[in-house]
Amino acid sequence: MSDSTRPEIIRYDPFAGPPRINGARRIGIRPGTELIHAMAGTGSRPITWTVEGLPATLAVDAAGIVRGHAPQTPGTHEMRVRASNTEGSTDAVVQLHVGSTLALTPPMGWNSWNVYADAVDAETILRSARAIVDTGMRDLGYQYVNIDDHWHAPERNPDGTPAADPRAFPDGIGALADQLHAAGLKLGIYSDAAEKTCGNCFGGLAHERIDAETYAAWGVDYLKYDYCHAPRDAATAIERYGAMGDALAHSGRSIVYSACEWGGRRPWTWAPEAGAALWRTTWDIFDTFGAGRLGVKGIARRNLGLGRHAGPGHWNDPDMLLVGNHGRGRATGTLRAPFSGNWRPKLWSFRGLTDVEAHTHVTLWAMMAAPLLASHDLSESDPYDLALLTNPEVVAIDQDPLGHQARVVEQSRHGWILEKRLAGGGVAVSLTNMGRRPRTLSITGERLGLRGDEEVFDAWTHEVQRSHPRITAHLPAHGSALLVIH
Ligand code: GLA
């Protein structure tokens, strides 16, 4: 699908050299609830781990997976983490915040929807989970494996508990969660704040308690709660999302809550209070760069205006990543009427993103502190697509503990220049050519508050340059540069 030169990112191999600690530096967990957390690290393999400062209720194995239960008392614990390989060792402090806030950095993982839509089963989920481990994505911090719509049996059980499709999930969701947890991964599930989901499976309305309890008993770690078949007004949405948020908070498990009402009722003003750690800000993304509100550009534009609502534990969600689908995703490759589901007439087909556009997609999502949820067939990732998802510097910008969403420094029809403040005083800057011809974009260091003698680090290529009075990037059509300045 590439009609343009591949940006030079593939030269960087995250799995060579001395160890590097990736992933969240701040982890939120509810008091007394189960913790399963795989420390994430790249560099040449194998990497061995030690963690000091763990509360007595937690233990770590040699693979760096921390397991156990959070202490009962709210508070912060500093875990002193060391990763070692044959080429050296490195240390980091990872904070464990025991309290009511989860997702202190944007969730990372994978979701079944973009690629598989309604064709989802246990085998597909397990294959994806294995691929997260085998490709090294887990070593960057990808940890949630989320089943989207269509996991459901035709009906709930007679006692009202939710039931999975017995053909697609013959051993049930709990058995699947156990297998994921054994690999240091987490399981996500999907429901809807109405009687039915977007795919017409049973929804969660009036079953919030029993659903949250069952999810907790299954070992579910993440819930995406959709809004098809629900009334349009905001008051009802606030009430319905609040009911599920409350049920999850009392479920006895730390379940990250993702609200998905597509931004129509300004969820950024009420979703945190409803208990949601993230909320969709836009309609579904489709596998195209332009196409008005449907593609990467339109979605990013809308999400960008909402930066002040983002921060640790509450994130704007501009939808999942398209990377790796190349127009073939069952949900994102075609537009059907209405937009969800696969049984409706096809209105439009998308060819997918070019390599340059996919590079820009990940650049913008990292700058916007967006959740990084891949959603393609992970067992067949192209090396270039995998490199887009596994660049430690880029992931670190997304996961920066400050939780700042980039602000717009300059935005015109041809170019966007964004700035994201980083913990420790640095800034990340992205320059994106939104035009259809190659173009040079530049910005003065002064506008970014720089002195002019700082080191400018290219997050994609890992090259270092000195900053000039102007920071300049020569960019192909739809191409981006992503720079870090300390
Ligand atoms: C809606 C959501 C999508 C997906 C589908 C499932 O369209 O926005 O992300 O979950 O429903 O049917």
Token pair for residue 175?
A: 């058995």
| pLDDT at residue 339 in the model | 57
Q: What is the pLDDT of residues 15-27, one digit of tens each?
A: 999 999 999 999 9
Q: What is the pLDDT of residues 118-158, one digit of tens each?
A: 999 999 999 999 999 999 999 999 999 999 999 999 999 99
Token pair for residue 50?
A: 């030690």
Higher per-residue confidence, 214 vs 464: 214
Residue with CA nearest ligand 1 atom 11: 198
Pocket test for ligand 1, best of 120, 340, 375 (most atoms within 8 A of CB): 340
**pLDDT grade for 48, boundaries at 50, 70 and 90:** very high
Q: Which atom of ligand 1 is nearest to the CA of 340?
A: 7
231 Cα–ligand 1 center, Å: 17
Query: Is the pLDDT at 31 greater than 70, yes or no?
Result: yes
Tell which CATH classification among 3.30.70.1450, 2.60.40.10, 3.30.70.890, 2.40.37.20 matches the domain 20-98.
2.60.40.10
| pLDDT at residue 452 in the model | 82
107 Cα–ligand 1 center, Å: 18
Which residue ranges does the chain devote to CATH 2.60.40.10? 20-98
Average pLDDT for 399-413? 97
| pLDDT at residue 342 in the model | 53
| pLDDT at residue 47 in the model | 96
What residues are labeled active site? Answer: 226, 284
Which residue ranges does the chain devote to CATH 2.60.40.1180? 407-485
Q: Distance (Å, rounded) from C-alpha 132 to C-alpha 142? A: 7
Pocket test for ligand 1, best of 110, 111, 113 (most atoms within 8 A of CB): 113
Q: What is the pLDDT of residues 80-126, one digit of tens each?
A: 999 999 999 999 999 999 999 999 999 999 999 999 999 999 999 99
- Contact present, 269 and 332 (Cβ < 8 Å): no
Residues of the chain above pLDDT 70, percent: 97
List, in order, residues 6 or more apart from 231 with CB less than 8 Å away: none
The CATH H-level superfamily of 108-398 is Aldolase class I (3.20.20.70)
Token pair for residue 189?
A: 């599930």
| pLDDT at residue 1 in the model | 36
Query: Is the pLDDT at 39 greater than 90, yes or no?
Result: yes
pTM of the model: 0.97
- Contact present, 85 and 19 (Cβ < 8 Å): yes
Average pLDDT for 35-63? 96
339 Cα–ligand 1 center, Å: 9
Which residue has 């490709």 as its token pair?
135
Which residue ranges does the chain devote to CATH 3.20.20.70? 108-398
Fold topology of 407-485:
Immunoglobulin-like (2.60.40)
Query: Is the pLDDT at 4 greater than 80, yes or no?
Result: no
Q: Residues near ligand 1 with C-beta < 6 Å?
A: 113, 148-149, 198-199, 226, 260, 284, 340
Mean per-residue pLDDT of the chain: 95
Element (H, E) at 419: strand 415-421
Q: What is the pLDDT of residues 163-193, one digit of tens each?
A: 999 999 999 999 999 999 999 999 999 999 9
Token pair for residue 378?
A: 């992970």
| pLDDT at residue 344 in the model | 67
- Contact present, 402 and 449 (Cβ < 8 Å): no
Q: Distance (Å, rounded) from C-alpha 102 to C-alpha 24? A: 12
| pLDDT at residue 5 in the model | 65
DSSP code at position 211: H
